[in-house]
Amino acid sequence: MREGVSGTGRGAGPRRSQEIFEATLDLLAAQGYEGLTVEGVAERSGVNKTTLYRWWPSKGALVSAALTGAGRLGLRVPDTGTLRGDLEAIVRQVVDLLTAPPTSAVAVAALGAVTHSPDLARSVRGFFADRLAREREVFERAVARGELPPDADPVLLIDLLAGAVWLRVVLRQQPVEPDFVPRAVDTVLRGAATR
Amino acid sequence: MREGVSGTGRGAGPRRSQEIFEATLDLLAAQGYEGLTVEGVAERSGVNKTTLYRWWPSKGALVSAALTGAGRLGLRVPDTGTLRGDLEAIVRQVVDLLTAPPTSAVAVAALGAVTHSPDLARSVRGFFADRLAREREVFERAVARGELPPDADPVLLIDLLAGAVWLRVVLRQQPVEPDFVPRAVDTVLRGAATR
Amino acid sequence: MREGVSGTGRGAGPRRSQEIFEATLDLLAAQGYEGLTVEGVAERSGVNKTTLYRWWPSKGALVSAALTGAGRLGLRVPDTGTLRGDLEAIVRQVVDLLTAPPTSAVAVAALGAVTHSPDLARSVRGFFADRLAREREVFERAVARGELPPDADPVLLIDLLAGAVWLRVVLRQQPVEPDFVPRAVDTVLRGAATR
Amino acid sequence: MREGVSGTGRGAGPRRSQEIFEATLDLLAAQGYEGLTVEGVAERSGVNKTTLYRWWPSKGALVSAALTGAGRLGLRVPDTGTLRGDLEAIVRQVVDLLTAPPTSAVAVAALGAVTHSPDLARSVRGFFADRLAREREVFERAVARGELPPDADPVLLIDLLAGAVWLRVVLRQQPVEPDFVPRAVDTVLRGAATR
DNA sequence: CCTTAACCGAGACGGTACGTCACGTCTTAGT
DNA sequence: ACTAAGACGTGACGTACCGTCTCGGTTAAGG
């Protein structure tokens, strides 16, 4: 008896999805998006190359599925009692995501490959939309507490903060000093609050 | 500055550098970084593949040289009389750089390829350092005018603003609404000024 | 005639044998032996690939069965009253078999594939044995009529004539001129009769 | 010293043509035409697969070149003093070609693959044309000796004899008895001479 | 009519080879 | 001094069929 709905795969994916996803992300982390090959994933995951192509038409689609299906890159929504605390926590998470192994390699490679694969781009859009949706409650709490005017734009704040981290870490490749997080949050927060 | 001594190539480049650079950037714009091939550049620029390899060891190095050598992607430092005006001009330039053809394709491709090529990464770091150096005067004028406390951090402000644009345009791939620029500048500026 | 006992399949063959055989021969004629694929036959005959493999272990076996089971490639034994006339009729039939559409494609492909499949080779051997057995009566009549010495070797005569056709049509790929048949028969016949 | 015109290959072929041709024919003999793979030839000849494709667009073209370029399958034109003797020698050569290892496997495979590859077919046509041209002198001598009427058709005679051998050996796969050769020659010769 | 055994469809899979593309290296010769 | 021409080994691409397996239906014969 194959308990539950359907056992191994719920009709959407090969039998060894897990091994495949893990192999994909491992290799992505190790060699970057360009260095990632479908053959490599096949070999490492013990699956035949044709099986991969049967399910995903391109490298981008495979990586995209691996990111979604393997559940790394999660966001824990903080609740520290103050908007400042919450934002600092969020920004710190972003910094960690992009700099702390082992996630960083995957995250940077995946996000950086947005320009290379429409499939991946779609997936990344979804990733951000999801994040934003979940971060929204932080701002709702802040508005309820009176820390933020009701017409403040959470998306803008997050874009500013997360964008700064990306620019610094990935594009300018400059280390993030310890006081970067509070200073960034402080600047943005004042601007938003004194509206 | 390449004027002076020799015209064509002063010992540091093949004879048809210009054609090569243009072919490189054209193809980069047309097909992205991954789709760009050395063979393609050779063919389009009418130069032999061997010649390219003689001068640049990798695709990244070639693109990097092309970006520097062809002088696209320039920044005009504004002077509108107010910090707000200057920042808005700068941010608008960034938005244009990433969204307005024909530069946008090159810029996005090149910056997005930072994760793929150390050579390119170095080049991009230089690009940003150069930009920041030239933008500095905007902030000096603002301090002189009293619009900004002397201990404000220009780099942080630029990172926030430019990073937000990148995140929105490239990673989240959401169109930039008309009022994005003033709103972003306003938020950051208040935060910085009320320090 | 397969009526009688069971109609569809009397335990020796899949239910849709006819469709399968026809698909096989059609594809054989259209694309040659090498171009013929089991998957193609499956698709065209509306039968599952597994079913084909359940009944025939190889392409050769399938083609072989198709040739036997579909009853194309028949030989009508002539009786013109003279050995010369009979032989000319037989040779002409061979020429037609190898050159006149639509049978020619199947015949050439099948016979030519003898070198590729033991199964097919066996089948072809049977085909020739059958032909020879039925042609034998032509020679018996000729002996009875005194046109041929009783120790003449019919097999040799047929080999010479049919072989010449094959060599010319398939190996040398030269068109068969109108007077080829009488000239060939004449040569062989004189040789045999003057023994 | 690379004597003469151009050394290894006279502009028509890769550097290791010989190894390639030999590998091709060996594998052809060992596994037949269908079993022959380009990758196999590449591996065995120590040459890369792409190199093979650079020079020959298909398996047929490769085999064809190998047959021509390696000079196996030669014909020695006999001169025994009588037409009968010459023809018997020729037919025996044909029998040997098709039955005696190691040539037989190559010959049968190559000739049998005529139905599979236009390239090969062309090559085989050339092979036969060449043979016929060289065999012609046998018949000229016979005419000069008065053994054959001047209007006899050598091509027909050869087609009859060689065709019979092919039919028997390859298609009917029946062993060639010792007296087959003289009997076949005798039959054909009487027919031709009593013209 | 109902069972039961033979037959079939579907879908996934590991595997081999295909023919192609671009890589980066090398040699030879030419300008 | 620089370049053209072009052969080559190499790795990966994405595809086509191969032949096999498992599972869950369908048929249709025969009690």
Cβ atoms of B28 and B63 within 8 Å: the answer is yes
- Tell me how close the Cα of A138 comes to any Cα of chain B, in angstroms: 19
D96 and D35 within one domain: no
- How far apart, in whole angstroms, are the C-alpha atoms of residue C94 and residue D130? 26
Cβ–Cβ of C114/D162 closer than 8 Å? no
Confidence label for C129 from pLDDT (cuts 50, 70 and 90): very high
Instruction: Find chain C residues with C-beta within 8 A of D128's C-beta.
Output: 171-172
Touch test D–B: 3 Cβ pairs or more under 8 Å: no
Who's near D19: CB < 8 A, 6+ residues apart? D45, D46, D47
| SS3 annotation, chain B | CCCCCCCCCCCCCCCCHHHHHHHHHHHHHHHHHHHCCHHHHHHHHCCCHHHHHHHCCCHHHHHHHHHHHHCCCCCCCCCCCCHHHHHHHHHHHHHHHHHCCCHHHHHHHHHHHHHCCHHHHHHHHHHHHHHHHHHHHHHHHHHHHCCCCCCCCHHHHHHHHHHHHHHHHHHCCCCCCCCHHHHHHHHHHHHHHCC
Model confidence pTM above 0.95:
no
Who's near D135: CB < 8 A, 6+ residues apart? D75, D77, D90, D154, D158
Cβ–Cβ of D191/C195 closer than 8 Å? no
Task: Calculate the angstrom distance between C1' of F20 and CA of C130.
Answer: 37
With tokens 């320090």, the residue in question is B195
D186 and D91 within one domain: yes
C159 and C112 within one domain: yes
Q: How many Cβ atoms are within 10 Å of C15's Cβ, its own excluded?
A: 12
**Which chains reach chain B with 3 or more Cβ–Cβ distances below 8 angstroms?**
A
- If you average pLDDT over every residue of chain C, what do you get? 88
For strand E, give the nucleotides within 7 A of a protein CB. Answer: 6-27
Tell me, what's the pLDDT at C195? 55
B105 and B187 within one domain: yes
Report if residue C6 sits inside a domain: no
D92 and D61 within one domain: no
Task: Quote the Cα angle for D8-D14-D19, to 5°.
Answer: 80
Is any Cβ of chain D less than 8 angstroms from the Cβ of C195?
A: yes
Nearest residue for E26, CA–C1': B50
Instruction: Find chain A residues with C-beta within 8 A of B129's C-beta.
Output: 172
- How far apart, in whole angstroms, are the C-alpha atoms of residue D186 and residue D184? 5
Confidence label for D10 from pLDDT (cuts 50, 70 and 90): very low
Is any Cβ of chain B less than 8 angstroms from the Cβ of A176?
A: no
Cβ atoms of C67 and C73 within 8 Å: the answer is yes
Cβ–Cβ of B164/A168 closer than 8 Å? no
Tell me, what's the pLDDT at A5? 34
A79 to A68, A183, A188, C123: CA distances (angstroms) = 25, 20, 19, 81
Q: Is 70 exceeded by the pLDDT of residue C1?
A: no
Confidence label for C139 from pLDDT (cuts 50, 70 and 90): very high
- Residue C139's SS3 state is helix
Who's near D76: CB < 8 A, 6+ residues apart? D93
Report if residue A76 sits inside a domain: no
- Tell me how close the Cα of B11 comes to any Cα of chain A, in angstroms: 31
Report if residue C53 sits inside a domain: yes
| Per-residue pLDDT tens digits of chain B, which is 195 residues long | 333 333 333 345 777 888 899 999 999 888 888 889 999 999 999 899 999 999 998 888 898 888 887 666 677 899 999 999 999 999 999 999 999 877 888 888 888 888 888 888 888 898 899 999 999 999 999 999 999 999 899 999 999 999 999 999 999 999 999 999 999 999 999 887 765
pLDDT digits (tens, 9 = 90+) for D14-32: 889 999 999 999 999 999 8
Q: Quick one: CA dihedral B18, B24, B27, B30, positive or negative?
A: negative
D65 and D90 within one domain: no
Q: Lowest-confidence range among A14-18, A50-54, A89-93?
A: A14-18
Cβ atoms of B19 and B77 within 8 Å: the answer is no
Q: Is 90 exceeded by the pLDDT of residue D90?
A: yes
B143-150, long-range: CB < 8 A, 24+ apart: B145/B82, B145/B83, B147/B82, B147/B83, B147/B84, B147/B193, B148/B83, B148/B192, B148/B193, B149/B192, B149/B193, B149/B195
C62 and C115 within one domain: no
CATH code where residue C94 lies? 1.10.357.10
Who's near A158: CB < 8 A, 6+ residues apart? A90, A132, A135
- Residue of chain C with shortest Cα separation from D168: C159
- Tell me how close the Cα of D3 comes to any Cα of chain C, in angstroms: 39
Task: Please provide residue C30's backbone torsions phi and psi, each rounded to the nearest 5 degrees.
Answer: -75, -35
- If you average pLDDT over every residue of chain D, what do you get? 88
Q: How many Cβ atoms are within 10 Å of D39's Cβ, its own excluded?
A: 9
Who's near A138: CB < 8 A, 6+ residues apart? A77, A78, A79, A83, A86, A87, A90, A154
Cβ–Cβ of C128/D171 closer than 8 Å? yes
Is any Cβ of chain D less than 8 angstroms from the Cβ of C178?
A: no
Tell me, what's the pLDDT at A4? 33
Task: Calculate the angstrom distance between C1' of E25 and CA of B119.
Answer: 21
Cβ–Cβ of C160/D190 closer than 8 Å? no
C153 and C61 within one domain: no
Instruction: Find chain B residues with C-beta within 8 A of A128's C-beta.
Output: 171-172
Tell me, what's the pLDDT at A102? 76
Task: Calculate the angstrom distance between C1' of F27 and CA of C69.
Answer: 24
Q: Report A:49-78 residues touching B (Cβ under 8 A).
A: none
- How far apart, in whole angstroms, are the C-alpha atoms of residue D174 and residue A109? 67
pLDDT digits (tens, 9 = 90+) for A110-135: 898 888 888 889 999 999 999 999 99
Cβ–Cβ of C183/D153 closer than 8 Å? yes
Cβ atoms of D110 and C112 within 8 Å: the answer is no
Confidence label for D57 from pLDDT (cuts 50, 70 and 90): very high
Report if residue C10 sits inside a domain: no
Is any Cβ of chain A less than 8 angstroms from the Cβ of B147?
A: no
Confidence label for D166 from pLDDT (cuts 50, 70 and 90): very high
CATH code where residue C40 lies? 1.10.10.60
A158 and A88 within one domain: yes
Report if residue B6 sits inside a domain: no
Task: Please provide residue A173's backbone torsions phi and psi, each rounded to the nearest 5 degrees.
Answer: 50, 50
Confidence label for A6 from pLDDT (cuts 50, 70 and 90): very low
Report if residue B10 sits inside a domain: no
Report if residue D140 sits inside a domain: yes
Quote the number of domains for chain D: 2
For every residue of chain A, DSSP letters joined together read ---TTTSS--SSS-TTHHHHHHHHHHHHHHHHHHH--HHHHHHHHT--HHHHHHH-SSHHHHHHHHHHHH--S--PPP--SSHHHHHHHHHHHHHHHHHSTTHHHHHHHHHHGGGT-HHHHHHHHHHHHHHHHHHHHHHHHHHHHTSS-TT--HHHHHHHHHHHHHIIIIIS-----TTHHHHHHHHHHHHHHT-
Nearest residue for E25, CA–C1': B50
C107 and C63 within one domain: no
Is any Cβ of chain B less than 8 angstroms from the Cβ of A192?
A: yes
Mean pLDDT throughout A70-80? 81
- Residue C22's SS3 state is helix
Tell me, what's the pLDDT at A12? 67
Cβ atoms of D171 and C111 within 8 Å: the answer is yes
| SS3 annotation, D113-142 | HHHCCHHHHHHHHHHHHHHHHHHHHHHHHH
Report if residue B144 sits inside a domain: yes
Burial-class residue B185 by CB neighbours within 10 Å (0-12, 13-18, 19+).
Answer: buried
C145 and C117 within one domain: yes
Is any Cβ of chain D less than 8 angstroms from the Cβ of C115?
A: yes
Is any Cβ of chain B less than 8 angstroms from the Cβ of A130?
A: no
Mean pLDDT throughout C39-65? 94
Cβ–Cβ of B187/A115 closer than 8 Å? no
Residues in chain D: 195
Q: Which nucleotide shows the minimum CA-to-C1' distance to residue C9?
A: E7
Q: Is 80 exceeded by the pLDDT of residue A140?
A: yes
B42 and B90 within one domain: no
Instruction: Find chain C residues with C-beta within 8 A of D153's C-beta.
Output: 183
Instruction: Find chain B residues with C-beta within 8 A of A33's C-beta.
Output: 115-116
Mean pLDDT throughout C151-174? 96
Confidence label for A71 from pLDDT (cuts 50, 70 and 90): low
Instruction: Find chain D residues with C-beta within 8 A of C129's C-beta.
Output: 172
B96 to A190, B75, B161, B181: CA distances (angstroms) = 28, 11, 14, 11
The boundaries of the domain holding residue A65 are: 17-70
